[in-house]
Amino acid sequence: MSDSDLKKEYSELKDQLNLWSRQYYYNDQPSVEDSVYDDNYRQLQILETQNPNLITSDSPTQHVGSQTLPGFDKVHHEIPMLSLGDVFSKQELAEFVNNLNKNYSQITEYNCELKIDGLAISLRYQNGKLVQGSTRGNGTIGEDITNNLKTIKSIPHKLTRPINIEVRGECYMPKESFAKLNEQRERDGENVFANPRNAAAGSLRQLDSKVTASRNLSTFMYNVANYDDLNTNTQSGLLSELKYLGFNINPTYEVVKNMYDINNYIDKYTGQRDNLSYGIDGIVIKENNLELQKEIGATVKVPKWAIAFKFPPEEVETKLKNIEWTVGRTGVVTPTAIMDPVQLAGTIVSKASLHNSDYLEEKAVRVGDTVKLHKAGDIIPEISEYIPSKRPKNLEPYIIPSKCPSCGDELVHLDGEVALRCINPKCPAQLTEQINHFASRNAMNIDGLGPKIVQQLFDKGFLDDTASLYKLNRDELETLDKFGSKSANNLLTAIDNSRSNSMERLLFGLGIRHVGAKAAKIISKHFKSIKSLASAKIDDISSINTIGNTISKSIVTYFKNPEANKLIQEFEELGINMEYKESQLNSSNIESSFFNKKTIVLTGKLSQMSRPKAVSWLENHGAKVTSSVSKNTDLLIAGKDAGSKMDKAQKLNLLIWDENKFIDEMNNN
């Protein structure tokens, strides 16, 4: 290859990687799979090793990816936030480890950790108080996101000791929250996040902290940049010290001696990966001695004392048999890929959401294609791409429908939405979905009224909106398949019982955009009745601590609609309760409580409530309160001057909260 061709190839590859990196970090929206990025990155590294004269300072190998976003103050990281070098096979890993062992004969131990699929953050404490939280940015300049980070429950505002320290780690979104958020975004006609890292980044870079607070983020801290005094000289000791200071650390770390143990650790967590509640994309191996870490040093970008072993992408091939379109209760029409069932990362997969028409066009799949399938964030089955060489000849391009599959009306794209929507308010699919939502567990909780029954009642013309549920009679119900008088009776009783539900169930059941079950509860507690909420202004609603503008606007818009007011009036005439019922804890509230089924010990002096009150509150939320700490204890709540119970809990590596944290959680449960 001529010099100029080589230069051209290098520059194209570099520009391509920089573009992908911007899309990944800056827009929180990657345009290629991680493995494609990694392959190209390696190609660039090889080119650079063979031709060091080509290297320019804008090469992605010369700086940590990502930039900062406007809208946030900049933070200068005095000690740069480094990335990690990576390897993709045990062979390469062995080479890295052998090399280190050869160069540093003092090495005796490595600490193995999970590589969390999240976003690097830095937390600075002065006298034990959180003063600043930031993103990594480009490693030297990050964004000040203190207010957003303060909304994350696992981040202590105050440490157990009044020290100056800067702690680093990963902010992540648990798998379940990631899946729920994407489902919600799909329903709302918004773009979905490609992986938990992007979801966490998108949630942290919010100008409104209330949005961050609603995203259920968590953290695992694993590194210390600056500190006054730390009672340890090892990485593993540092993790337990961080735990003692009040941070969340990932408990799976193991100190090992050699490659044999490292491989065992890799195999163990490759096997357990699907059972973890958070996504991981590899294993990190770190020299355990902190002094030696310093001696080994770092390049401009990565430490030389640590390496990431990246899991190979878990991908399988299968055939795309069909694309089904379903209409949600707000009219968003979503495509789902129906495939030949295949085993993938612990489950059998036969369906994958294709999210929206833009996404479908981008993937350019056709029915009959062989496709590669992976799990986004280790949880959501997703089509990576079709395999061109396996596309049968003459396979017809897929045509995106222009008509609603339920009512046949023209589908539209509303302003700024990626979703296709049916805007016919009488669309049968929308109406049945609204009724299903209304009857669901977190809404009116009408036992026995599942989607199949709703569909039958609708098809027979006995139901046309949510209010008509309360006008059903026994004769109508007895016409249903396999419905005798007993089933009819039970369903009528369940419907009747739901009339007396507290306001938050009705509010959630109305299906107002952005109003989830949790927000409905907080808002109901504040406004006490649907009527007073219906006449509230945006500011009245957003003055509630955790409720942001999006939710407030959506509620006000909903109640401006005369149809909504008509429905509310009808509910009132049908005897549906419209008021908030104070402190009734029903079984589903308890079930969704963090404290449910947890074994908890209280110790030390509580200053903001009496101990019997704390115990009865915990018991009302499903917890078992015991007096002694053991390995079966799930949580120790430690007030002032906690003594031996605290020591024992620390030894057992148990979860420990101070009183402030407990009170925060009481408000959230």
Q: Quick check: 30 binds ligand IVH (CB under 6 A)?
A: no
User: 143 vs 170, which CB is nearer to ligand IVH?
Assistant: 170
In 3D, which of 628, 631, 643, 639 has the Cα closest to residue 662?
639
CB of 185 to ligand IVH, least distance (A): 24
> Judged by CB, which is closer to ligand IVH: 202, or 303?
303
- The span of 76-84, 409-417, 517-525, 577-585 binding ligand IVH (CB under 6 A) equals 76-84
User: Which of 44, 123, 284, 556: binder of ligand IVH (CB under 6 A)?
Assistant: 284
Locate all alpha helices (DSSP H) within 124-258, ordered by sequence: 146-149, 175-187, 196-204, 209-213, 235-245
Task: Report the 10 Å Cβ neighbour count for 607.
Answer: 9
Distance between CA atoms of 206 and 267, rounded to whole angstroms? 38
- CA-based torsion, 234, 240, 243, 248: positive or negative: positive
Taking CB under 6 A as the criterion, the residue among 120, 238, 635, 649 binding ligand IVH is 120
Instruction: Determine whether the annotation assigns residue 84 to a binding site.
Output: yes
User: Which runs of E-coded beta strand occur in 428-569?
Assistant: none
Site for ligand IVH in 384-423 (CB under 6 A): none
Applying CB under 6 A, does 378 fall inside the site for ligand IVH?
A: no
Q: Is 107 in the site for ligand IVH (CB under 6 A)?
A: no
Q: With binding defined as CB under 6 A, does residue 82 bind ligand IVH?
A: yes
Between CA 483 and CA 471 the distance in angstroms is: 18
Catalytic residue status for 115: yes
Q: Count interface residues toward ligand IVH (CB under 6 A).
A: 14
* Residues ≥6 apart with Cβ < 8 Å to 439: 445, 446, 449, 454, 469, 509
- Between 83 and 633, CB nearer to ligand IVH: 83
Is there a binding annotation on residue 422? yes
Is 123 near ligand IVH (CB under 6 A)? no
- Which CB atom, from 114 or from 449, has the smaller least distance to ligand IVH? 114
Tell me whether strands 165-172 and 129-135 are parallel, antiparallel or unpaired: unpaired
Q: Measured at CB, which residue is nearest to ligand IVH? A: 120
Burial group, residue 667, by CB count within 10 angstroms (0-12, 13-18, 19+)? exposed
Find the binding residues for ligand IVH in span 40-59 (CB under 6 A): none
Which residue in 30, 303, 328, 335 binds ligand IVH (CB under 6 A)?
Answer: 303
Identified binder of ligand IVH from the candidate list 193, 222, 265, 269, rule CB under 6 A: 222
Residue 170 in contact with ligand IVH, rule: CB under 6 A: yes
The least distance separating ligand IVH from the CB of residue 102, rounded to whole angstroms, comes to 22
Backbone angles phi, psi at 432, to 5 degrees: -65, -35
363: contact with ligand IVH by CB under 6 A: no
- The verdict on whether residue 112 carries a ligand-binding annotation is no
Contact 596, 619 (CB under 8 A): no
- CA 431 to chain CA centroid, Å, is 29
Is residue 113 involved in binding ligand IVH (CB under 6 A)? Answer: yes
Find the DSSP H helices in 561-641. Answer: 562-573, 587-592, 611-620
Q: Is residue 248 near ligand IVH by the rule CB under 6 A?
A: no
The region of 77-85, 384-392, 473-481, 536-544 touching ligand IVH under the rule CB under 6 A is: 77-85
The catalytic position among 115, 175, 375, 521 is 115
Shortest CB 283 distance to ligand IVH, Å: 9
CA–CA gap between residue 288 and residue 233 (Å, rounded): 9
Helix pair 428-439, 451-459: axis angle to 10 deg: 140
Cα torsion 361, 367, 369, 373: sign: positive
Q: How far is CA 542 from CA 294, 519, 548, 640, in A?
A: 49, 11, 5, 35
Q: Which region, judged by CB under 6 A, interacts with ligand IVH, from 303-311, 472-480, 574-582, 616-624?
A: 303-311
Which position among 13, 159, 290, 308 is part of the footprint of ligand IVH (CB under 6 A)? Answer: 308
Smallest distance, Å, CB 247 to ligand IVH? Answer: 13
By C-beta, is 84 or 601 nearer to ligand IVH? 84
Kindly provide the b/e burial profile for residues 465-477, where b requires at least 16 CB atoms within 10 angstroms of the residue's own CB: ebbbbbebeeebb
Enumerate the β-bridge partners of residue 635.
Answer: 600, 655
Whether residue 276 contacts residue 246, with contact meaning beta carbons closer than 8 Å, is answered with no
77 forms part of the interface with ligand IVH (CB under 6 A): no
- Least distance between ligand IVH and beta carbon 219 (Å): 11
When asked if residue 115 is in the footprint of ligand IVH (CB under 6 A), the reply is yes
Is position 217 an interface residue for ligand IVH (rule: CB under 6 A)?
no
User: According to the annotation, is 144 in a ligand binding site?
Assistant: no
- State yes or no: 136 annotated in a binding site: yes
Would the annotation count 427 as a binding residue? yes
User: What does the block give as tokens for 150?
Assistant: 């303060």
What residues form DSSP beta bridges with 121? 135, 169
Q: How far apart are CA 391 and CA 388, in angstroms?
A: 5
Q: Does 34 bind ligand IVH (CB under 6 A)?
A: no
The single residue among 47, 100, 112, 116 that binds ligand IVH, judged by CB under 6 A, is 116
**Nearest-approach distance from CB 622 to ligand IVH, in angstroms:** 33
Question: Can you tell me which of 83, 177, 195, 524 binds ligand IVH, judged by CB under 6 A?
Answer: 83
For residue 397, give Cα distances in angstroms to 93, 313, 363, 423. Answer: 44, 28, 12, 27
Which residues, 6 or more positions from 272, have their beta carbon under 8 angstroms from its beta carbon? none
- Annotated binding-site positions for NAD(+): 34-38, 83-84, 113, 136, 170, 286, 310
- Give the residue numbers of the binding site: 34-38, 83-84, 113, 136, 170, 286, 310, 404, 407, 422, 427
Q: Which residues bind ligand IVH (CB under 6 A)?
A: 82-84, 113, 115-116, 120, 170, 222-223, 284, 303, 306, 308
Give catalytic residues, as residue numbers.
Answer: 115
Known binding-site residues for Zn(2+) equal 404, 407, 422, 427
